Structure formats: structure tokens, C-alpha cells
Amino acid sequence: MKTYLYKVESVDSGKRLDIYLLEQIGDLSRRKIRSIIDVGGVYVNKKRVRVASRAVTVGDSIRVEYNETALKKVKTESFEFRENDLLFNAYGTFAVNKPPGLPSQATKDQSIMHVVPLLEKYLKSKQIRHKQLILVHRLDKETSGLILVAEGSKQATWLTDQFRERKVKKTYLAVCHGLPSWTKMTEKSALSEIDKKSGQVRAVRSGGRSALTQFRVVAVNEATRVSLIECSPETGRSHQIRVHLEINGHPIVGDKRYGSQAHKSELPQNLLAMTGYHHFLHAAKLEFQPEVGAKPVHLAALFPEKMQLFIAEVFPKFDL
């Protein structure tokens, strides 16, 4: 990992970020600098910046971090947004159907792309003009479904405020192990931060953040002991739905962090073969107000292929 640290002087104030870095680093091309910015390797005043045209200001502290090997093999071929993945484009807001396995935001592995640069790539291919793109909220890497991206900080603030004030209605569908004894359930508990070693979140008695999720059983298959559960989180804690289902004895099928081997062994081999790709949690619906005075927008996203095949096999009467 290479790291560069700079402090912007008055003579450079007002320059584009990519031009400034090109002049400072010297041994990197402008194209490579743009790639580093795209994958989230540039920080201005400790905040990640992905806009190459952003002007630097005197006194700015700039940190550049990149892995030369990773940068050469940026993995874009596996994740490409297609026309039917862009579900909304209006009011300075884009909604996309994120595939499982694609991170919402930049990770430490700079060879892995994420939502914003892939959306930028798609918009460019379709000659769709846009302002700076800002991720509004996140989904876990293996969770698929609806995710919002705003154009510019003003629209990002408007949408983020709605999430914070719990005005956005989020509906997920999860394929879970076991047959719930309830039709509807509310789970409220305090959740820890993500443990750096295990990568897990736990329900705790003290010191956590309050999390609330409403659950409703949509369908069950008694033969395979698998259930389809609608999940409506009223808060947005990390791994919230996954933890709430696990502590109630119904971990999500395919979840590698939550649930036991005993649950997995209950599945027939033909179904088990479908679950090794990603866990079956999908952000299926989203309702939000795109701007002041506008009518609410209702969006729905199709299941990813493996989850769709599993549901069709186990819950044939469910309307996909």
C-alpha cells in the first residue's frame, strides 16, 4: 500500500483535485489518479472524496492511499448495471437494484468496485448527464435490492434526513430457516457495533444502539422447514434484520455470519446447492418523498436470479 500526504498551499488553491495530485505525485498518470479517486483512495480533510473535479483549497490536508497490484485488476466485469437495474431517475435521485456481492461503498480492497463508480460508468455509457453522485444509504455486501444515490449534497441531505427521521418505508424479503410460531412479530433490541475480528453484530443488554424491526410471515414450506418473511426495519443499524432473525431462531438462508450448520443441513441437496452464492435477503420495496411537495415514490426491485429460482422452487404459489 502506497501512501502520500499533502498540505495544499496558496499557490495551488482552486486547482482540480486530479490536476493537483498529478503535479504533486509526478509518477502517476492522470488516468491512474482518476482510478484511485474512483475506488475511494483519496481523502480530503479525512473525508473520502470521489470527485476528480473538486477544487482544492489552501490548508486542505490530502491523503492518497492505493495498492498498485489491486488497482491493475479492478473487478468491474462481474458487476455491470443494465438498463433494467436503473429503477428511478428524477428529482436528482437515482435508484438502482444492487446485485448481491457488490459493496455499497469503497472497501479496503481497491480491486473491488462499488455502487457509485459503476453507476457513473453506466450513466456515461448512456450519455446521461449528472452532477456529483453521493450514496444515500447502504446495504450489506451480500444483500441485494433497492439503493438510492443522490446528485449533489443538497439532494443527498434531503434524502438522508428522511432516513434519519424514519420517513422512508423500507420493505425487505428474507428466506429463513425454520417455521415461525408467529404470523407477525416486533423485535426491539440494542445492537453492538460490528466486531472487527468476527465481523458480527450482537444483541447486547447495555451499550448498544436501539434497533426495531417488524416481521410478517408471507409463506412457509413445512417439508423443507423454510419460511419467506417480510421485514420492515424502522431503524437502520448494521446487520439489523440478519441479527433480529437469528436471535429469534430463524437465520437467513445462505447467511455465512449468522446461523448454524445444523440449520443448513436441514435443506435438501438440490436447494442447498442454490445457497452458496449469497444470503437470501432482498431490499424489495422503498417508499420516499423525492422533494418538498412531491408525491411519494413507490419502488420495487426484482429478486436476483439465485434467490428467484429458490423461491420459485420452495414457494411456488408466491407471486414473484
Answer for the pair 267, 221: CB distance below 8 angstroms, yes or no: no
**Cα-Cα-Cα-Cα dihedral sign, residues 165, 168, 174, 176:** positive
Please state, in angstroms and rounded to a whole number, the distance separating the CA atoms of residues 7 and 24.
Answer: 10
CB burial string 267-294: b at 16+ within 10 A, e below: beeebeebbeebbbbbbbbbebbbeeee
Q: Is 289 helix (H, G, I), strand (E, B) or coil?
A: coil
Answer for the pair 56, 50: CB distance below 8 angstroms, yes or no: no
Q: In this structure, what DSSP letter does residue 137 have?
A: S
Confirm whether 140 is a catalytic residue.
yes
Residue 178 falls in which region: left (phi positive, over 0), alpha (psi -120 to 50) or beta: left
Query: Which of 38, 60, 140, 255 is the catalytic position?
Result: 140
Active site residues: 140
